[in-house]
Structure 1
Amino acid sequence: MTEEQNTEEKEIQDLIKTMKDYLDKEYLAGKKLRNFHPKMHGLLKGSLSILPDLPEELKQGLFKNPGVYQTWIRLSNAPPKVKSDKPASGRGLAIKVLDIPGEVIEPDPIGVPTQNFLLTTSPILSAWNISLYAKAIKAVLFGLWEQIKFAVNPSHWRSIFLTFKYSKKHDNLLSQTYFSGGAFKFGPALFVKFVLTPNDPNLGYTLDQAKDDNFLKSQLIKDCETKDHAFTLNVQIHKSDALQPLENTSIAWEGALIPVARLDIPQQSFDIPERIKMGEELEFSPWMGLEEHAPVGGINRARRRVYKELAAYRKSKGND
C-alpha cells in the first residue's frame, strides 16, 4: 500500500469512527437512524423505463436495451438531525432499480440485484476530498464548537460558501432537479453524472393550511394520492477535466443533459406502516449496481466503506 493509500485509509477509518460516535451520542438507546437523510418523507413505488434509440455510445449497462424496471424511491431531508422542513436545506431522492441484468459490484440485502442512484438537490458535493469531507462531517455532527473550529480555517471557507449557496427552501419535492454529485463510469469509455429533472417543475405548495414542520411530506401525500408524476433521468458526459472534473466534486459540471430513461411514479398512497418500515430499513449505496456504472473519485471510494459499515453498525445496535 502506498503512502497516499495509507493516508486515505486512515482518513476513512477516522470518518467511520466519527459517524459511529455521533450515532452513539444522538441515539443513546434503541433504533439508530441514518447519519444523513434520516428524515424520510416517503418511500414510493415507481418504474424506470430505458428510452429506445439511445446513441450507440450510451447503450451501456442498465441502458443497453430498452426495458422497464420496477423501483423504490426514497425522498428525504439531507441534514443529520430530524428537523423542520421550513428552513433552507438539501433534499434527497434515492432510486433503487430492481432485478437488473448483469453482475453487480455489491449485493443488495433485499436479495435481488439492484442499481442505486443517490441524488440530492445540490449539483455539487461541497467537500471535494476525503480529508475535507471528514472534517466537514465532524463539524456538521458535533455542534457549535466543532463548527467554529472548522469555520476559522480559511481553507474551509469555499466549502462553507458552497454549502450555503446550494441550500434552498423547497415547496414541493416532485418539482425539484436532483443530482448525483459524484461521477460514474458509463461503460468502458465514458464517465457521467446523473441528473433527474421533473416533468412538472411548476408544482408548488397547494395545501389549504399554513406550512408546518412536516409540510413536504403532507404535500407529497396529497400529490401522490391525486395523480401520476414523472421525472426524466439524464446524463452529463465528461469531456474534459476543466469543464467536468472527476475528482473535484465541488465544481458543477457544464454540458448538455442527455435523456436516458423516464422515472414514473403512479398514483398511490404510501403513508402506511409497512411502507414506512421498509423505507427505514432499505440500504442505499452508489456501489450497489453494475460495474459498467461504477462510482469514481475519492469521495465515492469513501462512501463505499462508510455506507456499508454504518448500515451494519445501525443494524447491530438496533435492539439496544
Structure 2
Amino acid sequence: MTDPRYVAYHPDIEKPTDNEEKLFDEMANKLRANNEKAYRKHKRGLRDAHAKSHGILRGELEVLPDLPPELAQGFFATPGTYPVITRLSTTSGVIRSDQIRGVRGLGIKVIGVDPENKTLPDDHEVTQDFIMVTHREFLFPDAEAYLKKGIPLAILLANLSDTMINVLSEGLALVNKLIPLRPTLAVFVRPNTHILGDTFYSSAPLRYGDYVARMLYAPRSPEVRALAGQSAAHYPGVNALQDMVVDFFGEHDAEYELRVQLCTDLRTMPIEDATVDWSEEASPHRTVAVIRFPKQDPYTPERRAYGDDILSFNSWRCIREHRPLGSINRLKRKVYDASSQFRHSVNNAPIREPRSAADLPD
C-alpha cells in the first residue's frame, strides 16, 4: 500500500504529445551535425554535452539502513554498499576554458544492480546511472521548447570564442544585478565556485519505486562542505576545475549525500514541465545514501582516456523502478544513445560498461 501523502507512480502519469517522435528525430539529426562538426575540428569524437571532464573518481555508495517505507524503494529498498565511478564535467558540448561561467555536470555509475531488472530491453549490464547538474531545474520545459529555443542558443554559443563568451557573461552579470535574468540566461552569470563544494540536481523527475521523485547530491564531510560557495578565483588556469579536483583528492577523502524529494502534488510538481521548482516546504529532500571517495589521483592520463573515450552515462541505463520521466527525459533516451554510438565509432573505442570498480584505471 502506498503512502497517500505522495503521488503514486503509474504508467499513465506521463503525457507524451502526438508529435514527440518527430521532435526527437529532428533533435537527433541536429545533434549529429554538431557531433560531426566537432569531429572535424578536434579530429576525435566528443560528447554533444558534458564534453570536458574534470575528474574521474572511484568510490562506494552506501544505501542507508532503516529508511522509512516511502524512501526504501527500488535500488534503495535494501541496505548495502556498491562500487561507484563518477565523472565531473561541464555541460557544454564545446571544450572551453574553465574560467567560463556555466553549469557543471556529474555522472554517477553504480555497479552491481540486477541486470534482469533493467528499463531498456537490450540492456543487460549491472550498472545504474544517475546524471545531475548544478542547476536545480532544467532550462526548458519540454522537448519542443528545447528544440526551438535551446538548440539555437547552443549553436550560437558554440560558434563564439572563449573571449566573446566571457565578455557576454560578465555583461549579463552586471545586468542581473539590476534586473533578474531569465533562468536560461542566469546560468551564464553564476560565479564559478569550487566544483567539489557544489550541489548537483537531477533537474527532471524519475520513477522512485512506488512513487515519483527528484534527486540531489550534496557535500557531507566537513572538507567538502567547507568548499560550498567558495570562489574559484585562485584557480586561474584553463583547466582550473581539473586542478582543484586533483589537488583536493591528493590530500583528502570526501563524503556526499544522495537525497530524494518525493512528489506530493502533480499540479505544483508536474512531470512534463521540467522548469518548475518543486517546493522544499511541501516535500524536502531526504538522505537515502552516502557516497564516499578515498584519496586518489582522479585525472591520470589513463583515467582521462577511459572517462572520455570508453565511459558513457545515460539516465536510461537504470532499473525499472528508476525509469526517467517527462518529455526532456524521453528525448534523452534517443539522443544520448545516438551521441554515444557516434563518439565510440569515430574514436574506434569499445562500448563497454564496467563490471567492477577495478575497471577504472589508476
Q: Specify if TM > 0.5.
A: yes
Long gaps (5+) in structure 1: 148-159
Q: Which residue in the other structure is 2:119 paired with? A: 105
CA 1:252–1:318 in structure 2 vs 1: closer, same or farther (change >3 Å)? same
Q: Which residue in the other structure is 2:333 paired with? A: 304
User: Which residue of 88, 91, 106 maps to 1:78?
Assistant: 91
**Aligned residue type for 1:104:** K
SS at 2:182 equivalent? helix
Per-residue Cα deviation, 1:233-278 (whole angstroms, up to 9, x for no partner): 0001100123322111011211211100001111101221221111
**Aligned residue type for 2:242:** K
Per-residue Cα deviation, 1:123-171 (whole angstroms, up to 9, x for no partner): 1111111111112342134227999xxxxxxxxxxxx821222442233
Q: Which residue in the other structure is 1:186 paired with? A: 208
Contact 2:46 2:93 in 1 (8 A): no
**Equivalent-residue separation in structure 1 for 2:200 and 2:145 (angstroms):** 23
**Equivalent-residue separation in structure 2 for 1:276 and 1:304 (angstroms):** 25
Matches within 5 A, 1:8-157: 8-28=20-40, 30-101=43-114, 103-106=117-120, 112-143=125-156
Identity of aligned residues (%): 29
Matched positions, count:
301
Question: 1:210: Cα distance to partner?
Answer: 5.2
**Equivalent-residue separation in structure 2 for 1:77 and 1:65 (angstroms):** 33
**Aligned residue type for 2:58:** K
**Equivalent-residue separation in structure 2 for 1:236 and 1:263 (angstroms):** 18
**Aligned residue type for 1:103:** N
Indicate the larger mover: 249-258 or 100-109: 100-109
SS at 1:97 equivalent? strand
**Equivalent-residue separation in structure 2 for 1:123 and 1:11 (angstroms):** 25
CA 1:107–1:83 in structure 2 vs 1: closer, same or farther (change >3 Å)? farther
Q: 1:264 aligned to 2:292?
A: yes
CA 1:206–1:166 in structure 2 vs 1: closer, same or farther (change >3 Å)? closer
Contact 1:42 1:270 in 2 (8 A): yes
| TM-score normalized by the length of structure 1 | 0.88
Contact 1:139 1:146 in 2 (8 A): no
Q: Which residue in the other structure is 1:226 paired with? A: 251
Contact 1:86 1:169 in 2 (8 A): no
SS at 2:67 equivalent? coil
Q: Which residue in the other structure is 2:342 paired with? A: 313
Question: 1:60: Cα distance to partner?
Answer: 1.4
Q: Which residue in the other structure is 2:263 paired with? A: 238
**Equivalent-residue separation in structure 1 for 2:55 and 2:311 (angstroms):** 12
Indicate the larger mover: 283-292 or 266-275: 266-275
Long gaps (5+) in structure 2: 1-15, 161-180, 349-362
**Equivalent-residue separation in structure 2 for 1:62 and 1:94 (angstroms):** 17
**Aligned residue type for 2:195:** L
SS at 2:50 equivalent? coil
Question: 1:107: Cα distance to partner?
Answer: 7.6
